[in-house]
Structure formats: structure tokens, C-alpha cells
Chain A
Amino acid sequence: MEKIVPNREKIEGEFIPQADDDMIICRCEEITKGEIRQAIYHGMLTMNEIKRYLRPGMGLCQGLTCTRLVKDILARELKVRATLLEESTPRSPARPVTLQVFADERE
């Protein structure tokens, strides 16, 4: 599938506030739709960049809830199909694991 290369020269239009901008999208890190949309206008044009800039998907659930929502918001702002956007990099462990378990060297 063709990868979308973000065009960093311009985003069409200006940032226009929306009525539901204060809706929480990432519950773990409490990030709103408005913050995500602002970040896109600040030049964060990939899922990884939004994640690194604002932290959605970096909390306890690691994006299980918000990844698709963030992606939809990004797709809408960039006016492209969400399926064409690259995922943010998934990170191990898949579920939080205590330090104690990792540090246990027994077989």
C-alpha cells in the first residue's frame, strides 16, 4: 500500500476551534481532541509525532483505547483516508509487567 509522505510545507486552512475540542481522547494521559488538532497545526503530521509531542498512547493502556480515535482525527485534519496513515510504533511489553518479574532470573 502506498505510504503517505507528509507534506511539511503547508496544511490547508487555519486552525478553527470546534465545539467538542475539550473532549478527552486519551484517558490515561488526559489529552483532548483540541490539543491533538492544535499539535497537527504545529506540524505533527504522523501518528508517532503526535504521540511523542503530546503523549496520547503513552499511558498505562498504551493506546489501546485512543489510537484509532487519534488516527481518525489526524486523517480528518489532513483530509486523507485513515487506512493510509502509518501506525505509531507498538512497544513491548503488551501489558504492563512489574520490575520484579523482569528482574527474576530463575528459569
Chain B
Amino acid sequence: MSEVRKSDVLVVGSGSVGNAAAYFLAKAGLSVNVLEKETVGNGSSTRNGGLNKMNFRGVPELSIAMYGVEDIWPMLQEDLQKEVGVDIEYETTGGYRCAATDEEMKKLKTFIPHAEKENMHLEFIDGMELRKRIPQFSEKVVGASYCAEEGRANPLKTTLGLYSAARDFGAKFYDNEKAIQIDLVKGAARRVVTEQGNVYEADHIIVAACYGSRELLNTVDIDIPFTHALCEVFVTEPVPIFMKEIVISSTGAYYGHQTAHGSLVFGAGSKFGPFSREGTYVEKRLTSQMIPSGAKGLMEVFPFLEKTKIIRSWSGWHDRTPDDTTCLEAIEEVPGLYIACGFSGHGFGIAAPVGKVLSEMVMGEPLGADISQLRFDRFLPMDPFTGADRVKY
């Protein structure tokens, strides 16, 4: 039988971002309902490598990413430990962006002006210096750009820890409830209808449903042109800890880190194309190319790992925008509607500050970060009649 469930805030999507928003809002005393089409955190939130990359992050995202590094992640690390006894393993470890040629090294330096603007600390070191710091690096790495602000967390524990804590603060989670329509009441977003026939009413509706957001937002005439791209990750057996920094190749051939647990979690941009299936939902699956190309990339930088065993691999979807940068805003034309989607594969690193900023927007507090460049209308064409920047609906 269909039901009507009311709350102050409704979050669509129980991933790291949705759960973080639910956590901060429930903690502040608001009533929160969370809808999830599968089960809690079964999307890209628990399928990523857990990196917070800062170097070469989309420039408009840097402000909110810095908010995370400086305030939100360390706070969350402490709070979740106290509240639900979960160690999310967040650490600002620093990270190396490795170059295999001098040409790549030159390219790495193009990020300097953006980093300076946000007070990020970049350091350019040659191969010798890199091997002095981490002797396991092979000669194939000729240099690296070190960014002190990069870090990592355990995405599984973060997503589920946030869920557990939000639940303790009174947030309600509904599984197997796929939101299919947003209803407007007097022009404002007030209701969400699910495939199961239930109706959820709220004053504020947050859409954080990864690639599912596009279809849902289409019901209120908002279209964010992202496609979904398949991405794969593998993990090795634990080996003695030899580095805590995150490591990314400047060409994207490999990226990952050694977890607090000792295992190496690495993904690879296999360059076999984005596997985009726009508009259709295809099962998350593995291709046969990713692990071999990732294993090859990893062995080139860390040859001593050749006998290390890969024990598990998995895949997930990116919701990839044309500029690889997220959309985060309170939609002007639809009061009460907030969007956080299009994270393009590096959303987990800013999940906590995005959740916090969403809660600040809902509660009308001053925002902790500048998100003015993250509006979705940057993808819209100019209005051909009036020349206005934004096409009005």
C-alpha cells in the first residue's frame, strides 16, 4: 500500500554525499528521510579508491575541496569515532603526481597558478629525491609533483559510518525506493514519488543520486548533460606499509594508494574509451582489459610488487560531466531543490564537505566554501532571444 511520509528534508541517494548531508542535517535536529533505489551505499560511494585528489582537480571544485581538507574531514574522523566507533581512516597524507617524461613534468607545472590561488602547497621533485623519500619507486618515474593537501579515507567505512550515525540521530532510510518524479507545489519542489508508489513530502529536496539524478531532474525540466562511464578498481593482498601518500600517474594510467590496512587499492584509466551508455542502465561489470593494464602500470612504478597477489576487483559508474567537474547548487528557479551530482569520478574526496555545504544551504547558514562556479547552467546554451546567460524555464 502506498504511503505518504513527511520530513523537513528529503535526500535522494544514499551514497557518501547523500549520507553526509543526512548526517549533518539530522545532527542539527532536522527530520530527514533518505531514499535509495538499491541498498545503502551500493553505488560509486563504495566502489571508488578512497582518494582525495587535489592536484589537477577541476578548478571550480578547489574551494570546497580545501574546506574538506582543512575542516570537515578531520572533524568527521573524530566525530564518527566518538558517535558510532567507526574509524574512517581519513588522513591528509600528501600525494605524488608521477611523471614518466620531462614533457609530462612540464605539464604538471601548469597547475601552479590554481594551487597558489587556493593556498595549496605544491612541490616539484626529481626522480632522485622521490626515491630518497620512497625507495620503492622505479627509475621509470623521472619526477613528481607533490601536493601536501591530498589525502585518503576508507570509502566503505565513511559511507556506512555516516549512515549509521545519521540513523542514530533519527534520519530514516528507505531501501529499494526509486525516486521517479519530483512534484512542484506552487513552483517549489515539495514532493517525490517513487516507483513503489510511495510519496515523500519535504520542504527541502536534495538530489544526490549519481547518474540517476539526470533522469529524476528531467521531471522538473533540468538536464545536466552527464554520461556514465565505467571504472574499475583492484585490490591486492596486504603488504608491509611502505608509503602512505596517494600516487597518481600524470597520464592517468594508474592511481591509488596503500590503505591503512596494508593492501594496495589501484584503479586504471585503461584508455579503452569511456564505455558510455547514455540513457540506458547497464549492469556494473568488469572488462577484461582493466586489471592487466592497471597491473602493468603499477608494476612499472613498483617492480617489487610483481609477486603480490590481486585478490579482488570491482567496477562502478562515474557520472561524468563535460568538464569533469561537479554540479552543486540550490536551484534558483525551483525553490527547495538542491543538486549534488556529476562528480565525475572524484566525488568521494569531497563527499564530506559537499554534505556539509548542502546542510548549510538547507539551514540558511553562511557557506563554508565558494561554490559559485559549480552551477549546472554552465552547460546551458545562451538564451538566443534575450542573450541572457541562463535559459529560463
Given A9-B172, A42-B164, answer yes or no on A103-B310 (Cβ-Cβ < 8 Å): no
B292-332 vs A: 1/0 string, CB under 8 Å? 10011011000001111111111000000000000000000
Q: Is A53's beta carbon under 8 Å from chain B?
A: yes
Q: Which residues of A are in contact with B by a Cβ distance under 8 Å?
A: 5-6, 8-9, 42-44, 46, 48-49, 52-53, 55, 58-60, 62, 89, 91-93, 96-100, 102-103, 105
Q: Which residues of B are in contact with A by a Cβ distance under 8 Å?
A: 39-42, 46, 84, 86, 156-157, 159-161, 163-164, 167, 172-176, 236-237, 261, 286, 291-292, 295-296, 298-299, 305-314
Whether A52 lies near B156 (C-beta < 8 A) is yes
In the docked arrangement, what's the CA distance between A103 and B164, Å? 40
In the docked arrangement, what's the CA distance between A5 and B173, Å? 12
In the docked arrangement, what's the CA distance between A105 and B299, Å? 13
Shortest CB distance A44–B (Å): 7
20 A-B pairs whose Cβ atoms sit less than 8 Å apart in the complex: A42-B84, A43-B173, A44-B160, A46-B39, A48-B42, A49-B160, A52-B160, A62-B312, A91-B314, A92-B286, A92-B312, A93-B310, A96-B311, A98-B309, A98-B310, A99-B306, A99-B307, A102-B295, A103-B296, A103-B306
Known pairs A93-B310, A103-B306 / 4 extra A-B pairs, C-beta < 8 Å? A8-B172, A53-B86, A92-B312, A99-B236
In the docked arrangement, what's the CA distance between A40 and B306, Å? 38
Which of chain A's residues have a CB closer than 8 A to the CB of B312?
58, 62, 91-93
- The majority secondary structure among interface residues of chain A is loop
Which of chain A's residues have a CB closer than 8 A to the CB of B86?
53
Q: Within the complex, which residue of B41, B156, B299, B313 is in contact with A99, where a contact is CB–CB below 8 Å?
A: B299
